[in-house]
Amino acid sequence: MSTIQLFRYSHSQAQELSGYHAKLERQLHTLVESQMETLLGVRFLASEYATGKTHRGRIDSLGIDENGCPVIIEYKRTSNENVINQGLFYLDWLLDHKAEFNWLVMEKLGKQAVEDIEWKGTRLLCIASDFTRYDEHAVQQIPRNIELIRYRFFDHDLLLLERVNTVSEKALDVAIATTESEPTTPATAKVSRDKTQEEQLAQNSQDIRDLYAAVTDFILSLGEDVQERQLKLYTAFRRIKNFACVVALPKRLLVMLKLDPKQVTLEDNFSRDVSGVGHWGTGDLELTLRAAEDLEKAKPLIERCYLES
């Protein structure tokens, strides 16, 4: 059960707001789908997606997140409904029907979005008013990218989303090894000439690799709710949505932050506004790190981004 309390403070008095869950599951479903990118960092693809005659199910919501990872979202109004098992059933279906998902992405978002899909990060989001301790324990034992998100309405226009669990990178890698296969794509995908994050780090100097380790250690130390995910071209850090990404390049690291560059004093050769420039990762503020001194300058901005996310 959530221990979060929400208060309205005015005129030197505090009044606790009473929380409540949706009267109907459809109310929650409709709200999240209408604001999916804002709430979850996920682009909406389909609602009540049918899984065919064999599986005979309907996925509540299908989307693709800001890192290009496929996302299944399942909703339950209360905590006594088996949302996790249902979601796992659909997750296995999705990993076995990659080509069908690719076609859906092609229709909704275009060819480039298909080429950018990161199957390694496929996610299942379960949103419910609460979860039992058995739910929380179960997802830690399952080698899948399952995120439990607790919701609560307050007053007439406030919605709280609270992530209940964290997913370990190691557990995901085990799952990927057993499910990864190349789907038949709706169009011939381009072979990327860009070096992967892993290749960039391997070919960099030991100083840059040490700097990368220091950056990731600092970001992960910001809170237990921080999740790390190494993708093909960068490493993403998120709570519910990304707040920072680290890109390895020759002789330097780029840290992308979701901060408004107009609210930051930019410094030559350290920080710049990339809101109008194509770049890897998410966020409009780019920091360039070449040494430990740069990381020390970056820490207040990274922490600020975490707190505002």
102 & 215 share domain:
no
Residues 202 and 81 grouped into a single domain: no
Residue 31's CATH number: 3.40.1350.10
How many CB atoms within 10 Å of residue 87?
25
The pLDDT confidence band at residue 172, using thresholds 50, 70 and 90, is low
**DSSP-derived secondary structure for 79-102:** SSS-HHHHHHHHHHHHHH-HHHHH
Q: What is the CATH number of the domain that holds 275?
A: 3.90.1150
Same domain, 158 and 251: no
CB-based contact 231:118 (threshold 8 Å):
yes
Encode pLDDT of 81-98 as tens digits: 678 888 999 999 999 999
155 domain-assigned: yes
Question: 256 and 115 in one domain?
Answer: no
Residues 205 and 165 occupy one common structural domain: no
Residue-number span of the structural domain to which 173 is assigned: 7-179
Question: Is residue 42 domain-shared with residue 161, that is, in the same domain?
Answer: yes
- Rounded mean pLDDT of 239-257? 96
Of 179, 210, 225, the residue that ends a domain is 179
Q: How many CA atoms lie within 13 A of 280 on its CB side?
A: 20
Residue 178 — very low, low, confident or very high, per pLDDT cuts 50/70/90? very low
Q: Which of 114, 139, 100, 127 is nearest to 64 (CA)?
A: 114
Coil, strand or helix: which one is 159? strand
Tokens of 183: 């789907």
Statement to judge: residues 203 and 164 lie in one domain? no
- Is 187 part of a structural domain of the chain? no
Q: Which of 149, 179, 209 is the last residue of a domain?
A: 179
> Which residues have a Cβ under 8 Å from the Cβ of 211 and sit 6 or more positions away?
253, 289, 290, 291, 292, 295
Bigger pLDDT: 52 vs 148:
148
| Same domain, yes or no: 26 and 175 | yes
Per-residue model confidence as pLDDT tens digits over 39-82: 999 999 999 999 987 778 899 999 999 999 999 999 987 766 67
Residues 158 and 224 grouped into a single domain: no
* Residues 6+ positions from 5 with CB-CB distance below 8 Å: 16
Q: Is 166 inside any structural domain?
A: yes
Domain boundary among 179, 205, 234: 179
Q: Residue 136's CB: how many other CB atoms inside 10 A?
A: 12
Q: Please tell me the predicted confidence (pLDDT) of residue 186.
A: 56
* Domain annotation covers residue 192: no
Is residue 186 included in any domain, yes or no? no
Over residues 18-39, the pLDDT tens digits come to: 889 888 889 999 999 999 999 9
Lowest-confidence pick of 14-23, 80-89, 156-165, 286-295: 80-89
Is residue 257 one of the residues assigned to a domain? yes
Asked if 131 and 201 sit in the same domain, the reply is no
Query: What's the structural domain count of the chain?
Result: 2
Strand partners for 78 = none
Query: Tokens 């098992």 sit at which residue?
Result: 85
Count of CB atoms situated within 10 Å of the CB of 200:
19
Q: Are residues 112 and 215 in the same domain?
A: no
Q: Does residue 268 belong to any structural domain of this protein?
A: yes
Do residues 154 and 284 both lie within one domain?
no
